[in-house]
Structure 1
Amino acid sequence: MAKVVSVNISERKGTIKKPIEVGYFRENHGLEGDAHAGNWHRQVSLLAQESIDKMKRMGIWDLVAGKFAENITTEGIELYTLPVGTRLKVGEEVILEISQIGKNCHEACEIRKITGDCIMPREGIFAKVIKGGFVRPGDEIEIVAGT
C-alpha cells in the first residue's frame, strides 16, 4: 500500500520544508501557504522515502522528510516511473495529476549545500491539484488514471 509519510511546507522557495500535521491542497493552486503554490504546472512536489533512503545509503544520515523541499513524502510507490498525466488519489478527496518528472536543480539551493547532492532532480515529481482537500501523514495513495 502506498501512503503519505509526511506533508511539508515552506514560506520561501529553495529552502527545506517543515512537516505539518495536515495540509490543505487547493484545486489549481497547491498546498495553502507554501511558496511553490500558484497557478502553474508545479503546484505540488512529491518525493518517495525510498529515494531519500538511497541518499542515506550514500552516507548522508541526517536526511528527513522535507529536506529536499518536497510537499509530500511518500512510501510504497515508485513515483518517478509514473508517466506525466497519471492521476493519484491522495487521502479521501485530493486528486493530483503528474505534470513533470524531475527538474533542473539550481546549484546554490539550500538542499544541495547541506547534502552535497539532490535526488529531487532525478526522482522527484511535480503535480497539479485537480481536486482539492486535506492530506495527512498516513493517508493512502492510489493511482486512479493515467495517459
Structure 2
Amino acid sequence: MRVLTVNLGRPKAVEYTDAPSGTTGIDKRPAGGPVRVADPGRKGEGASGLAGDTVCDLRHHGGTHQAVYAYAREDLDHWEAELGRPLANGAFGENLTTTGLDVNAALIGERWRIGGSVVLEVASGRVPCRTFADWLGERGWVKRFTERAAPGPYLRVLEPGEISAGDAIEVVHRPDHDVTVELVFRAYMGRRELLPRTLAAGDALDPELREAALKYAAGRPS
C-alpha cells in the first residue's frame, strides 16, 4: 500500500463552475517533490490540507474534514476501461493517488500513517458535483459515479508532516464498527434509510453528514 503521486491544483478560470471566483482547482497534477500536509482549519475559512494546492470554492470544499482527498489507481483503471480514455493520476481531482489499498472499504475513523510522520483519518466520501461532471465531460456522469459507489475518501490531518510519491501507507487504526466510505456515500447519495447506520461512526464522521443522519433518525427533513 503506497502513494503513487501527490497531486496539486492551480486555479483555472472555467465557464462551468458556480464558484464565486469563477475558477476551479480540480485539474490536479503530480508534484515534483515532498508536499507539506497540515490541518487547514474549519470549512469556509480553511482550504486544502496540502501546501500549494488550491480550493476555489470554500462553501463546499476544503477545511478540516475535507483536508485531503484520496482515490485509488485501481478505481481510475476501472474508469479508464469503461470510458475508453486515459485518466492520469489526479484526473478525479484527488490529492493522493494510491495503490494496493481499497479506499472505499476504509472505515470512517480509520487512520493511515503515510511516510514517516503524517497521520490521516477517514472522515467521509467524495460527493460528485457539477464541476466534476463538466471537467470530465461525460454525459450522465454524476449518476454513473453514484451508481458505482467508489467515491474515494476525504481525510482529516491528525499529525502533520510531508508526503511524497512512493511513501508507504500503513493502516494504524481501524475502529470497531462497519461504517465504510462506500456505505456513507450510498446513504448520502439517495439511500436515506442507511443514514442511521452511519451514526455508529460517532464523532469521526464529517459533522455535516452526521447532522443529516441525526435529522433523518429523528424524523426531521435533512
Same fold (TM over 0.5): yes
Question: Which residue of structure 2 lines up, in the alignment, with residue 42 of structure 1?
Answer: 66
Q: CA deviation at 1:56?
A: 1.1
What is the number of equivalent residue pairs in this alignment? 143
More helix by share: 2
CA contact (8 A) 1:80 1:102 kept: no
SS at match of 1:128: strand
TM-score normalised by length of structure 1 = 0.86
CA contact (8 A) 2:10 2:27 kept: no
Equivalent in 29, 35, 58 of residue 18 of structure 1: 29
Equivalent in 88, 105, 109 of residue 64 of structure 1: 88
CA contact (8 A) 1:17 1:69 kept: yes
SS at match of 2:122: strand
TM-score normalised by length of structure 2 = 0.59
Gapped regions of structure 2 (runs ≥ 5): 12-23, 41-48, 56-60, 176-222
Q: CA deviation at 1:38?
A: 5.2
SS at match of 2:77: helix
Structure having the higher Rg: 2
CA contact (8 A) 2:10 2:25 kept: no
Gapped regions of structure 1 (runs ≥ 5): none
**Given the alignment of the two structures, is residue 134 of structure 1 paired with residue 134 of structure 2, yes or no?**
no
Judged with a 3 Å threshold, the aligned counterparts in structure 2 of structure 1 residues 25 and 52 are, in CA distance, closer, same or farther, namely: same
CA contact (8 A) 2:4 2:99 kept: yes
Structure 1 Cα separation of the partners of residues 165 and 77 of structure 2: 18
Structure 1 Cα separation of the partners of residues 69 and 118 of structure 2: 14
Identical-residue share of aligned pairs (%): 27
Question: Which residue of structure 1 lines up, in the alignment, with residue 174 of structure 2?
Answer: 146
SS at match of 1:88: strand
